Each structure stands twice: as structure tokens, then as C-alpha cells.
Structure 1
Amino acid sequence: MRKSKSFCALAFAFMLMPVSAVAGDVTITVANNSGVQRQEVVEIPVKDVYAKLGINDGDKFIVKNALGQQVTYQITYDGKLLIDASVRPEGTADFTIVPGTPKPMKTIVCGKQYPERVDDIAWENDRTAYRVYGPALQRTGEKAFGIDVWVKNTPDLEVEKRYETELSNHGKIEALKEEGKTAEALEMEQETTYHYDHGYGLDCYKVGPTLGCGAPALMFGGEMVLPYCYKTYRILDNGPLRFTVQLEYNPLTVGTDKNVIEHRIISLDKGSNFNKMTVWYEGLTKPCDMVAGVVLHSEDTKSVLYGENYVLYADPTDNPAKQNFQIYVGVLFPNGVKATKDIMYETPTNGNAGHGVGIITYQPGERYTYYFGSAWSKNDVRTLNEWKLRSEETLNALHAPLKVTVK
């Protein structure tokens, strides 16, 4: 009888214990030691979470905010748990992780290859979109080297819809032109092409044989050795909070090195105007100057700002007289550069006047990380001064990351 009573008492006490004590919940605290509001995707080693929860690697879990709501999270290819954290100045934000199956999560960042559009790889978050050009385009002979920007003014995912609308109507437009129905063709083009704004953004950034927005290039003999299109790719992360792609380029000749291969890892997070770029070169035997920057277009070579660790530019678009807006582009160098400056062409070609760049001395085998990004005057950044402020605050955040503890 005593045994039975003891067992019942233990069972009753167990039922009264908080759920957290039973489940071995994990608390994530994100601390903001700065004097400004911070909204960023933070990283936690996911192995620490599994260990503290007492569950196996790969088992499902739920992340809740301080209000008890489930929040979107992501586990990356390199073993990080990503959480989007909003933290008040000199404040903290707590998240609770419990074992269980989460509700479906909304994808905010994603990308893919588009073989139907000459192997473009395009990706986007809730602020803007980007693309790089692939081997099918290179085979056509078209010169498009750098990184493209597609502006948007909606947090919704738009890139796939833009490609579908553009490509599904292109043949119809060409057929109308061949039939001499020029006005009808123009009307259909204006209604369907992603080169016009239909209320949610467009592609009006000129790239061509340049760095575009943020590509790197080695220097030899005072000239940039521009890469062409990527050769191979691997998508490492694909949302909901981060997109990551690894790119390998065709061999280049740099001085006496005949087989220099460029590698890039690019990632974009929810809410960020800037991509993280890590670049390294295989087959380079000597230190070499490397640049990263943005193309400067002939229509406006004055609206460029050079800081100690940034280059920012108000790009005039491919039709400044009729578009009447600006695309803000820039490159940030939190790890420092030798100098920031312009490298101008003696004779501008197709509206490309030169580049605004940061210069480093690249050491063979080094992996160098910097950031490139953009904003649109019809969306979240209205002026070049605002873009400067946004860029400086991003650099400050990179130098003083949010502090994350796991309990």
C-alpha cells in the first residue's frame, strides 16, 4: 500500500512539473549591446541545441518567441540554426526551443537556376533580387560578367513569376513583330516584360562586361581580369531565411599563372540589403591585387561615395530620363582594404564609364569576405544619404554582432 501511494504521489508531482522541465527546453537569449534597434538573422550551432534538448541530430523541434508564438527558423548546410531576431537598444530577446514538429514556415529568401533563361541563377529576399549569368549565356557570346540587380517594392517572392511571365510571352511578341504588328507587340511587351515596372519592381540595371553590383576581379598590369559566366554551381541553402550558392568559374590566365580558378560563396539573409561574398582563387602562385566594386555608368559618374571601407553609388538605371528613380548599390569591406577609388575607362563603352572599387592585396590560398548589396529609391531607401546611413549601420553591426547564448 505504501508503494502504491508513493508511486501515485510521484506521478502527480510529475504532472504538475512545468512542461519545460519535462521536455528539457532550450532558451536562446540574443543580447544587443548597442544603442540602436537591431533586426538580424542570428546563428547558433545547431549541435548545441540538439545536445541540450537531448534529441538526436535531425530530430524536429519548434522555436517560440517570448509571446509563445512559433517563429520561422532554418538549419544551414554548415550546421547553424538561424533565427530572425528583433532586439531593442541595449536589450535582450528570448526564444524557447522545444522538441516537436513545427508548423509550415513561410519562405522569405530563395533562389534557383533558370536553364530556360540561359542558365541564370537568381535569388531574392524581402528587399531585392540578384542574378549571375551561366554557361548557356557564355556560349551565345554575349558579354555579361557581373552581378545583376532586380529591384522590388514588395516582401513577396517575385522572381519566378517574372521569369514565367517574361518567357511565356516572348515568342508571342516576336511573332507579332514578324507580322508587322509593331504596336500590338509593344503593348504586349509593356504589359509582360520584367524590364517594365508593373507595380512590384523590374530589371533596369545595366551589367554587360563589368563587375555589375559587387563582383570581384584580380588585377594584372593595371587592368581587371574579369571572370566570365559561372561554370558550375551548388545551392547550399535555400530558405526560408537564407540563400547560399557556391560558384566555380572557368580558368583564367593571370600573369604567368595559366590556370587560375575563381570560387565564390554568396549568401543573402532575410531583411538584409547586403549579400555576404567569400571569394578565393585556386592556382594563383603569387600575391596579386584584387578589386571588388560596382560599375559606374556614363549617365552619372558623380553620385558615388568612397569611404575608408565602402564604395556606394546611386545608379541612374538603364533609362534615367524616363525611369526617374535610382538604384543604390554598394560594396562594404568590414575586413578593410588598401584603398577605395575609381578605375575609369579611357573610352566608355555601351554606357559603362568605369568602376568604383575597393582594392586589397590578395594572398594565394586566402578566403576574402566582403559584402555587396542594393536598394531602390521607390522602396526602402529614398536617397543616397539614406543609403550611406544604411551601409554604415550595416558595417557597425558586422563589427559588433548580436551576442547569442544558449541555456
Structure 2
Amino acid sequence: MKSIQSFFLLAILFPLALLAQTKATVSIQNTTASDRKEAVVSVKWETIVSHYPQIDTTNFVVINSITKKQVPFQLEHQGFKTIQNLLVQVNVKAKSVLQLSIQKGKHSVFETKTYARFVPERKDDFAWENDRIAFRAYGKALEKTKEDAYGLDVWVKRTDKMILNERYKIGDYHIDHGNGLDYYHVGFTLGAGNMAPYVKDTIRYSANYHQWKVLDNGPLRSSFILTYDTWDADRIKVKATKKITLEAGSQLNRIENVYTYESNALLPVVVGIIKRLEKGILSLNEQQGIMGYWEPSYGKDGTTGVGAILTTPVSNITVGTAQLLAKTEVKNNEAIVYYTGAAWDKAGKITTATHWFDYLNKFSQELKNPLIVSVK
């Protein structure tokens, strides 16, 4: 009889204890021998709610258990109405565990570190940036004009402030007014790491993107989708979507491409980086899928490093007169993920080819050894 009474007592007290819980604890473990600095970490929102069911999305803080200071966060929706993830930006020392407390409180106003938008006033550009670097993709209105280009563009910057709106407003972004400029040349190439089908040893370029959708927009992560209308890749009708994500503190975008075509065969594709006529410095690792390029200096404008990291097997990396190409394959209607981005020596953080290639190699290792997150 006592055991039955105890069972019913526990059945009553357990949900009451859950309702009374006033916080959740997040543990972030770094198993590697390198510090993880300014890492944006994703925690599933449903997991947080299961441990802290009374959480108020308008009245909570994330506290570093060591410093007792607030940690910047973002509620990520991924294009849905409901919250999908809690994003936090943290530093986690090598071989250590960082604990965060999620509890009731008024959070600080966090600095915007990522931003993305459609730019109709500049022929349908889509531009995005973080506190390190900026990029743009070309839209429909630019097609068949003398300014048209195929690849991804880089806007170098030497400030952690958001600069896109200011540059477009001034309209003079090819001159450095103190925060950087656009001196990167794309032309009819893949530019700074765009991807395209590679059929019969030829790049089969699409037209520019024709539709766009912003999924999330800072302060720690911005993501959006660009959609490309069907085009002919040597008698293969292909259409594509590109989901691009840029996090605070990162030099590289995460790009998730989905190619749709009427076949079950694998489609060869390449990630490309435009190569300059003058001599630059290369670091190519087919086995690890890393392609790094430190461009020749461009006069007073400085030097740009460009790189890509593929997560699918790379059959080969070629160095042509116009582009560096890393070749891989995709399946019909299945996502392929890779990373691409750039750095500028005048920003003062990555100033040599060695620094840039070390950054790419470290980034690749971090992808293979992600931070481990648990909630209680």
C-alpha cells in the first residue's frame, strides 16, 4: 500500500517540480586542444523548454557561470513562425566545459554582428555581412548589362560595424572611406567560391538569382535562400536553391545547395575561385577538400585571401588560367554543404598567406570536431 501511495505522490510532485524549475543549465564541451573563440553555438529550443517550461521568451538571460556576465544570444526561427534554436556566442577553452545558466531576467541590448538584405536600388543585389567581412550575389536586374557577373562578390571591411546600408546609400563603395571597399573583381567566373554544374569539363553557369527569402537576420546569425530558375547544363535541365548562412566572428559562409534535375545520376559540380594574372599564393589540399588562395596585392587596396572548404569528397583541384576549381558530385534534390569566404589584410586580423591557410585548416578541423552541447 505504501509503495502505491509513494507512486501517486511522485506522479503528482514530478510535474509540479518541472513547473517550479526556474532555469536551465547548458554545458558546452570543447574536446580539442585548441581554444574556440567567438563560437556561435546552437541549442535546440524544444530541449530548453523541456527543462525550463516556464521560460518567457521576452524575459530571460543567458549567464556565463564563470564570469557571471550576460552572453549574447539570438532566437533562431529558420524561416518558421516558431523558435527553432537558441544561438549563443561564447569562448570555450581547449579541453574544457563551459556552463551557461538560462534564467529569468532582462537581457542587454546585443550588438548586431550579422545582417543581410535584398538591395533593389542596386539592380537586385543581395548583400550580407558580419563583423569581419561582407559579400553580395547578383540578381535578375543585372542580367544583360555591362556590369553582369556570375560569381560571389567580396566586400572587404576593417570595422566590426555593419556597413552595407551606408555604402549603398553613398554609392561610392569602390573607394575606401575608412571602413573598407569593394575592389574584388568577379566577372564571368565563380568569383569567391560559387558552385556550378561541371558537365563535359565545362562550367555550366546559371543566370543570376531570381527569388530570395530571408530566414533569420542577426544579431549572431543571418541566413537566407536564393533561388535560381531552370537552366541548361548541356541538355540537363537544372534548377537550384542556395541557403547561405553567415555567423558572427566567422570569415566563411556556410552554403547549402540543392540541385534538382531529371536524373538519378550524380551531377558533377565545381566550387571556383577566380585567379588573378599576377602571382598569388596557393594552398590546395584535395584529401581534406580545402582550397586556399592569397591573392596578389592590389596596390594601396591591400590583399584579399579567398578560400573554400568542401564537406564532400573532392576528386581533384585544378589550377587554370582563370580559376581554381574543386570538383565534387551532387545527388538530385539532395543538399550539398560547403564553406567559402574571404579575409582582408588591412582588417588587421589575418595579414599573411600563412595566417589565412592556418585559419582554413583550423576551421576544417573544427567542423570535424564540433562543440558538444547538453542541457539539464
Do the two structures share a fold, i.e. TM-score over 0.5? Answer: yes
Residue equivalent to 1:355:
323
C-alpha displacement at 1:42, in angstroms?
0.8
Q: Deviations over 1:207-256 (max 9, x none)?
A: 11110101000012211011221110001010000010101012111233
Residue equivalent to 1:148:
153
Q: Which whole-Å CA distance do the structure 1 matches of 2:145 and 2:60 have between them?
A: 48
1:141/1:325 CA distance change after superposition, 3 Å: closer
SS at match of 2:333: coil
- Aligned match of 1:310 in 246, 267, 290? 290
Q: Which whole-Å CA distance do the structure 1 matches of 2:58 and 2:183 have between them?
A: 45
Q: Deviations over 1:279-335 (max 9, x none)?
A: 1111241322100121112233x4222112111111236xx2x32621000111133
Q: Which whole-Å CA distance do the structure 2 matches of 1:214 and 1:306 have between them?
A: 14
Residue equivalent to 2:259:
281
SS at match of 1:250: strand
Residue equivalent to 1:10:
none
- The runs of 5 or more residues in structure 1 that have no matched partner are 1-19, 167-192, 345-352
Residue equivalent to 1:114:
119
Letter matched to residue 357 of structure 1? L
Q: Deviations over 1:254-288 (max 9, x none)?
A: 23323x11111010001011100111111241322
C-alpha displacement at 1:68, in angstroms?
2.5
Residue equivalent to 1:263:
241
- The runs of 5 or more residues in structure 2 that have no matched partner are 1-17, 79-83
Q: Which whole-Å CA distance do the structure 1 matches of 2:306 and 2:235 have between them?
A: 34
- Write the mapping of 1:252-401 to structure 2, written as runs, cut at 5 A: 252-258=231-237, 260-285=238-263, 286-300=265-279, 302-308=280-286, 309-316=289-296, 320=298, 322-323=299-300, 325-342=302-319, 344=320, 353-379=321-347, 380-401=349-370
Residue equivalent to 1:232:
211
* CA RMSD in angstroms, aligned pairs only: 1.9
Q: Which whole-Å CA distance do the structure 2 matches of 1:26 and 1:156 have between them?
A: 32
Residue equivalent to 1:178:
none
Residue equivalent to 1:81:
86
SS at match of 1:150: strand
- Write the mapping of 1:99-178 to structure 2, written as runs, cut at 5 A: 99-138=104-143, 140=145, 142-166=147-171
C-alpha displacement at 1:34, in angstroms?
0.8
SS at match of 2:77: coil
Q: Deviations over 1:52-82 (max 9, x none)?
A: 1113785643211222322221122241211
The TM-score with structure 1 as length reference comes to 0.81
Contact 1:334/1:399 (<8 A) preserved: no
Residue equivalent to 2:62:
63
SS at match of 2:215: strand
SS at match of 1:229: coil
SS at match of 1:104: coil
Residue equivalent to 2:4:
none
Aligned length: 348
Contact 2:259/2:330 (<8 A) preserved: no
Contact 2:30/2:36 (<8 A) preserved: yes
Q: Which whole-Å CA distance do the structure 1 matches of 2:206 and 2:146 have between them?
A: 14
SS at match of 2:154: strand
Q: Which whole-Å CA distance do the structure 2 matches of 1:47 and 1:21 have between them?
A: 15
Letter matched to residue 77 of structure 2? Y
Check if 1:54 corresponds to 2:59.
Answer: no
C-alpha displacement at 1:164, in angstroms?
0.8
C-alpha displacement at 1:364, in angstroms?
1.6
SS at match of 1:297: coil
Letter matched to residue 250 of structure 2? S
Q: Which whole-Å CA distance do the structure 2 matches of 1:406 and 1:196 have between them?
A: 48
SS at match of 1:251: strand
C-alpha displacement at 1:101, in angstroms?
4.3
Contact 2:350/2:356 (<8 A) preserved: yes
Q: Which whole-Å CA distance do the structure 1 matches of 2:77 and 2:277 have between them?
A: 41
Letter matched to residue 94 of structure 1? Q
SS at match of 2:341: strand
SS at match of 1:197: coil
Letter matched to residue 371 of structure 1? Y
Q: Which whole-Å CA distance do the structure 2 matches of 1:93 and 1:31 have between them?
A: 6
Residue equivalent to 2:35:
37
Deviating beyond 3 angstroms after TM superposition, the runs of 4 or more aligned structure 1 residues are: 20-23, 56-60, 139-142
Contact 1:275/1:372 (<8 A) preserved: yes
Residue equivalent to 1:4:
none
C-alpha displacement at 1:100, in angstroms?
4.3
The TM-score with structure 2 as length reference comes to 0.88
Larger Cα-atom Rg: 1
Q: Which whole-Å CA distance do the structure 2 matches of 1:387 and 1:228 have between them?
A: 31
Q: Which whole-Å CA distance do the structure 1 matches of 2:371 and 2:364 have between them?
A: 13
1:153/1:324 CA distance change after superposition, 3 Å: closer
SS at match of 2:142: helix
Greater Cα offset, 284-293 or 233-242: 284-293
Greater Cα offset, 381-390 or 49-58: 49-58
Contact 2:55/2:104 (<8 A) preserved: no
Letter matched to residue 252 of structure 2? F
Letter matched to residue 362 of structure 1? V
